[in-house]
Amino acid sequence: MAVIMATKIVAPNIWGWIADHTGRRVDIIRLTTLLALIAFAAVFLGQGYWWMVAVMCLFSFFWNAALPQFEATTMSMLGDQTRHYGRIRLWGSVGFIVAVVALGPVLDAVGSSAIPVAILLLLMGLVVSAWLVPLENAAPVVHVAGSLWQVLRRSQVMIILLVCFLLQASHGPYYTFYTIYMEENGYSRGLIGQLWALGVVAEIGVFLVMHRLLPRYGAKTLLLLSLGLTTLRWLLVAWYVSSPVVMVFAQLLHAASFGIYHAVAIHLIHKMFTGRHQGRGQALYSSLSFGAGGAVGSLMSGYLWSGVGATATFQVAALLSAVAFLLAWRGLRSETL
């Protein structure tokens, strides 16, 4: 699992550079999804530890390459209608729920051996869908003046990337220990599963209305709202875990800590990394936030959990998102967003 996280830091940037220099982003999506399928199929050829490490490394190198290019292609095809991104992204959340609901009875019946088969079938579906994307509908890459380094040196870009890193790092305790934390405080596994699902449903709800929220309130206001509510969420989880009502409310805040945040972040990255830099812009967002931020957050939460306890760990998570809020509040200019 750590190998997948590590390649998420490196692979998107390599493939993003290739996509931006060749201008053949859809072809790269098709190629990498096919290679990810082939690589993952190797899990059926051996079960040794180092074999699985090698398979996961190869698979995730291609898998993590495709995802940011999907984002860049989607935003390019939307043209001047990028505010509708959320209405497309929500289907990823729907897919997550469908997979969980459909696989639950299968796993109960045949055990965990069904998981690799299910993933393989889903990857096959992904390959087919990638090949159905019409090339003629993908906006051509515009070769703009200026290097990627010149874009990265802009203070607004550096602040956005740092904010994304901090926010994802703050999710470390949640993604790593939330289920364990809730079990230790007397919640059943069934109820915990329902709380996870509630968070996904909440993000779907906000994706449905983001095309209205972005033009009305602006990217900076929505980003600050997301960061502020994320801080509140981690404090509630830290201090009021014994209250089921508060925990339900905290899970509903996933609409802000992921839904609003992700839609705004994709919008800002697309706006700041233009022309031939779009692929690497989305790759940097993926690698620095979900990759590096997720890895640092998970590692940090592990040490804190065993060192100072669960409550303090979620308080540190709240501190990280609060710092991100202050950075965005003081450093971002609304007129540039």
Q: What is the pLDDT of residue 336?
A: 58
Give yes or no for a contact between 322 and 47, defined as CB atoms under 8 angstroms apart. no
pLDDT per residue as tens digits for the range 135-184: 755 554 555 546 777 777 788 889 999 999 999 999 999 988 898 999 89
Domain boundaries, the chain: 2-130, 148-336
Would you tell me how many other CB atoms lie within 10 Å of the CB of residue 312? 14
Does position 1 have pLDDT exceeding 80, yes or no? no
Q: Which of 200, 63, 76, 203 is nearest to 140 (CA)?
A: 76
Task: Please compute Rg for the chain using Cα positions.
Answer: 20
Quick one: pLDDT at residue 140?
A: 47
| Residue environment code for 148-158, b if the CB has 16+ CB neighbours within 10 A, otherwise e | beebbeeeebe
Match domain 148-336 to its CATH number in 1.20.1250.20, 3.20.20.140, 1.10.3720.10, 3.40.50.720.
1.20.1250.20
Q: Give residue 141's identity as a one-letter amino acid code.
A: V
**Length of the chain measured in residues:** 337
Please tell me the pTM assigned to this model: 0.79
With a CB cutoff of 8 Å and minimum separation 6, the contacts of 165 are 288, 289, 292, 293, 296
Q: Which H helix or E strand runs over 111? A: none
Helix (H) or strand (E) holding 287: none
pLDDT at 108: 77
Q: Token digits for 266?
A: 């994709």
- Residue 268 · residue 219 · CB < 8 Å: yes
pLDDT digits (tens, 9 = 90+) for 196-241: 889 989 999 998 888 888 888 998 999 999 999 999 999 999 999 9
What percentage of the chain carries pLDDT values higher than 70? 94
Q: Of the ranges 11-15, 20-24, 100-104, 231-235, which is most confident?
A: 231-235
Interval 113-128 mean pLDDT: 92
